[in-house]
Amino acid sequence: MNNAPATILDTIGNTPLLALRKVVPANGARILLKLESRNPTGSVKDRMALAMIEAPEADGRLKPGGAVVEYTGGSTGVSLALICAVKKHPLHLVTSDAFSREKLDHMRLLGAKLTIVPSENGKQTEKLTKNMIAEAHRIAQNLGAYITAQMENTDQLAAYAKLADEIWEQTGGRIDGFVQSVGTAAALRGISEKLRQHDGRIRFVAVEPAESAVLSGGPSGAHKIDGIGAGYVVPLWHDGIADDIERVSTEEARATAFRLAAEEALFCGTSTGANVAAALRLAERLGRNATIVTIMCDTGMKYLKTFSQALEP
């Protein structure tokens, strides 16, 4: 087959855009969900991880067979593990027991070496994030390795610009609002910058954990929404990225994820739950003639053990 992908990396991107049918308010806007769970590791992070490796390979910062280091809440680490396995880069990841066991196991199975930084009661906090970052930089220096440093890496913005182009094409240019939760801020920044070039009237909404709502001026705190809410204002964030900031609690994010599974047959993680919870609020405000797009960040299979515990009586 002439059009067969050469490697698994050629299957990253070009994901479907699906209209939600059951959870949307009766008189609210149409909500379209970009199914990033269809990427090879089941996560939108496959896109940015590929960009963070291919850019330094192209300009010589990362040599053939050179070692890579990153700090990660899980999905970026899994994505980097996939890409480094294909490209033969040894990978050392710094992560924590605060994140799902499924993600940690997935990283190891793809060949990554892990350093686990202990958390406080399994919750993500500013202290944990900064401890992980410091440990990753220490390891990279000791190994003489290339650190992708996702919190400040601008190579990934190109991947999200491409994602924005997919959204624009799939909606036929009809989009009134875009909603995305903030981890490194790269996704919302890259997507919003590109979509604004297409249409300056689109309204962009950032989502952060209610328990640690630092972007909207609240105090840093602990939460359990994997992959977002670092606990401080991250380097890639700036105030012009979003028109509004929505606070979503861990409980609401999980409840919305469970609703998506039961009512839409879409099994997703809590960051997607947070995205859709905020999108539902925006849908009420914009009304039935509007179209909102948000991201299904990953598959709920990455959280199966955690979710099973929440379902126990």
CATH number at residue 88: 3.40.50.1100
Strand partners, 180: 206
User: Do 66 and 197 sit in the same domain of this protein?
Assistant: no
Cβ neighbors of 313 (< 8 A, separation 6 or more) are none
Asked if residue 3 belongs to a domain, the reply is no
Asked if residue 154 belongs to a domain, the reply is no
8 Å CB contact between 232 and 220: yes
User: Do 35 and 57 sit in the same domain of this protein?
Assistant: no
DSSP 223: B
Chain-centroid distance, C-alpha 124: 15
Question: If you average pLDDT over residues 271-293, what whole number do you get?
Answer: 97
Cβ neighbors of 105 (< 8 A, separation 6 or more) are none
Q: List, for residues 52-111, the tens digit of each pLDDT value.
A: 999 999 999 999 999 999 999 879 999 999 999 999 999 999 999 988 888 999 999 999
Q: What is residue 2's predicted lDDT score, i.e. its pLDDT?
A: 61
The percent of residues above 70 in pLDDT, for the chain, comes to: 99
Q: How confident is the model at residue 224 (pLDDT cuts 50, 70, 90)?
A: very high
Question: If you average pLDDT over residues 292-307, what whole number do you get?
Answer: 92
Q: Where are the beta strands (DSSP E) in 39-167?
A: 68-71, 91-96, 113-117, 146-147
Question: If you average pLDDT over residues 26-32, what whole number do you get?
Answer: 95
Asked if residue 119 belongs to a domain, the reply is yes
Asked if residue 170 belongs to a domain, the reply is yes
User: Do 206 and 302 sit in the same domain of this protein?
Assistant: yes
Q: List, for residues 127-165, the tens digit of each pLDDT value.
A: 999 999 999 999 999 999 999 999 999 999 999 999 999
User: Do 170 and 306 sit in the same domain of this protein?
Assistant: yes
> Could you list the residue range(s) of the whole structural domain that residue 92 is in?
45-147
Question: If you average pLDDT over residues 220-246, what whole number do you get?
Answer: 95
Q: What is residue 157's predicted lDDT score, i.e. its pLDDT?
A: 98
pLDDT for residue 277 is more than 90: yes
Tell which of 92, 126, 147 closes a domain: 147
Residue 269's nearest CA partner among 31, 15, 36, 1 is 36
Considering its fold, how many domains does the chain have in total?
2
User: Do 31 and 50 sit in the same domain of this protein?
Assistant: no
User: Do 111 and 13 sit in the same domain of this protein?
Assistant: no
Which residues are known catalytic residues? 45, 271
